[in-house]
Amino acid sequence: MSARITLHSLQTAPEAARPFLENAQKNSGFIPNLLGILANAPAALETYVTVSALNGKSELTLAEREVVQLIAATQHGCDFCVAGHTAVALNKAKLPQEVVDALRARGELPDARYETLAAFAREVIATRGNVGDATYQAFRDAGFSEGNALEVILGISLATLCNFANVFAQTPLNDELGKYRWQPSA
């Protein structure tokens, strides 16, 4: 499958996008196709890189941030992001396979704290932030702070840029992510 819009390489990307692509190549050994798509709008690519770095500074753990990313990607139907975040969740965040499987299946998570986080993130997306008092209280009762609630929204904002860009562009999956391929269930 080819992308709907130009999938840039280091050689074809606009000059302003090249440093971001070079950095990705250096850090990952390949350029994720998401970045090749975002290179069409260097400001969008820079936003993605900047917000990713800021999201990484949140008080949520990497595993918790990956729960949020996988909730958003599955809710938004972004097969590219589900694959990419599955790789991160399993290999870097060390989330248990059964938690990742439940996230990919849009099911209930077998870990109560992660399920509370996931329920909060799902409701943030579904209500555009108008989360009910019971969901928010459960989130707080699980040990998450007021700041963590805003960090979930930060993560969803990052995911929204990526998810919507990939769905719009019909971004093909990199071969490096092929074993994490995801298809939404009907």
Per-residue model confidence as pLDDT tens digits over 101-124: 999 999 999 999 999 999 999 999
State the average pLDDT over residues 9-14: 96
What is the structure's pLDDT at 174? 96
So what's the pLDDT on residue 181? 97
Arithmetic mean of pLDDT over the chain? 97
- Per-residue confidence band for 2, with pLDDT thresholds at 50, 70 and 90: confident
Whether residue 54 contacts residue 150, with contact meaning beta carbons closer than 8 Å, is answered with no
Apex 38 CA angle, 36 and 40, nearest 5: 85
Confidence of residue 184 (pLDDT cuts 50, 70, 90): confident
pLDDT single digits (tens) 127-153: 999 999 999 999 999 999 999 999 999
* Helix (H) and strand (E) counts in the chain: 9, 0
Percent of the chain whose predicted confidence (pLDDT) is above 90 = 96
Read off the pTM.
0.96
Work out the angle between the directed axes of helices 112-127 and 133-141 (0-180°, nearest 10). Answer: 150
Structure tokens that stand for 130 in this block = 């108008």
Residue 1 has pLDDT above 80, yes or no: no
Q: How far apart are CA 149 and CA 140, in angstroms?
A: 9
